[in-house]
Amino acid sequence: MRNFDYYNPVKILFGKGKIAEIAKWIPKGMKVMMTYGGGSIKKNGVYEQVMDALQGFDIVEFGGIEPNPKYETLMRAVELAKQENVGFLLAVGGGSVIDGTKFIAAATCFEGNEPWDIVAKGARVNAALPLGAVLTLPATGSEMNSGGVITRQSTLEKLAFNSRHVFPKFSVLDPMVTYSLPMKQVANGVVDTFVHVMEQYYTFPEQAEIQDRFSESILKTLIELGPKLIHAEKPNYEDRANFMWAATMGLNGLIACGVSQDWSTHHIGHELTAFNGLDHGITLAIVLPGVMNATKIKRREKLLQYAARVWNIDTDQPDAADQAIARTEQFFNELGVKTRLSDYGVGIDTIDRIEKRFRERGDFALGGIDDVNVDNVRAILTSRL
């Protein structure tokens, strides 16, 4: 196991009715800016619950944060936060709203030239507005981590940033608020969580048995829950609760402790979203099987561990590794997520653009491990046509 430092200060308020408690964790007298997306929270009762909980606070609203939050939109929120002298941000939504709110928090206090430098150049974040979150769509784990992903429409870029200053002070996880989600979003959330775990697990043996077993338990939970979530006649609280917690545990830093990580599936998937507008979860379902096939020789030991422990495949079979990859893709398909670029009208021209962008950017080791790099990204994507 590798050396590691682990820090996570996020307070989790989990369960039914927990939205009502948020006022306890926001300093009195703060002007609060509530951020949200397209307005679904005003249809499913979440908006009313939040407003009831915030009685007595001066509230500013900023709606319209997109899936794959756009820099241009977020900068309008930054200006509003400055004009209104906002002291606390409350993100009410899924990962995109929370990611976008983290950027707003950092950009409002940024003293450099342009806040985009935080994302594009890794400019240091020295301070940020405090924020909390009310999670409505389990998927990204953003409610319990310090990262975010932002898109710039003018340049068709989708890039990540990270700062300890943007950890939420608290996050509310009420499984009941997920009941109104479209099944497509639930399926994408399961895929996103699954791939998050895989990118912290499917690398090389590190003798980190606790982390491995944590990861495998999350993966097996998702495999068991996924079809139940999608095909249930009505939402089941316990299933939604376990899914919500799995998504949070998948990217709160715990399973990454002491192990290698490979984020190449996300790096490649971000470009598919930037150029073609595909849902984030869809891009991951497309790319992961390609990455697994491209790395199955060098990572054979971990792949066979995955095959045995997660899929119960007899690893004495010569094709056990291939079976594990096929079962992974089949699982995504069973959730109703198609896994081929051609399913979405994406062709070789997009692959050309993605390869060119990686080379221009100097992104040679895409995910932190050198067996996935700019030289084989074309082969990975071509295999997914």
pLDDT tens-digit readout, 297-318: 999 999 999 999 999 999 999 9
Q: pLDDT at residue 21 above 80?
A: yes
Contact between residue 135 and residue 143 where contact means Cβ atoms under 8 Å apart: yes
Average pLDDT of span 7-36: 97
Q: Using the 3D structure, point to which of 156, 177, 198 is the last residue of a domain.
A: 177
Compute the mean pLDDT over every residue in the chain, rounded to the nearest whole number.
96
pLDDT tier at 234 (50, 70, 90 boundaries)?
very high
322 and 367 fall within a common domain: yes
Q: Are residues 346 and 198 in the same domain?
A: yes
Asked if residue 305 and residue 203 are part of one domain, the reply reads yes
What pLDDT does residue 370 have? 80
What residues make up the domain containing 234? 183-382
Do 332 and 284 belong to one domain?
A: yes
For residues 142 and 212, state if they share a domain.
Answer: no
Q: What are the structure tokens assigned to 105, written together?
A: 């928090």
173 & 187 share domain: no
Gap between the Cα atoms of 258 and 200, Å rounded = 10
pLDDT for the residue 366 = 80
pLDDT single digits (tens) 217-231: 999 999 999 999 999
Q: What is the pLDDT of residues 69-124, one digit of tens each?
A: 999 999 999 999 999 999 999 999 999 999 999 999 999 999 998 999 999 999 99
What's the pLDDT at 208?
Answer: 97
Do 86 and 187 lie in a common domain? no
Q: Which of 120, 152, 177 is the last residue of a domain?
A: 177
Q: Residues 369, 203: contact at Cβ < 8 Å?
A: yes
Amino acid at 244: M
Distance (Å, whole) CA 242 – CA 280: 22
Task: Let me know whether 130 and 207 are in one domain.
Answer: no
State the pLDDT at residue 371. 87
- Please check whether residues 64 and 195 belong to one and the same domain: no
Residues 135, 274 within the same domain? no
Q: Output the six-digit token pair for 256.
A: 């990454």
19 pLDDT band (50/70/90 cuts)?
Answer: very high
The whole model's pTM is what? 0.96
39 band by pLDDT with thresholds 50, 70 and 90: confident
Q: Would 301 be classed as within a structural domain?
A: yes
- Domain end marker among 177, 206, 221: 177
34 close to 90: Cβ distance less than 8 angstroms: yes
Q: Is residue 5 part of a domain?
A: no
The Cα 311–Cα 324 span in angstroms is 7
- Per-residue model confidence (pLDDT) at position 115: 97
pLDDT of residue 230: 96
Same domain, residue pair 221 and 243: yes
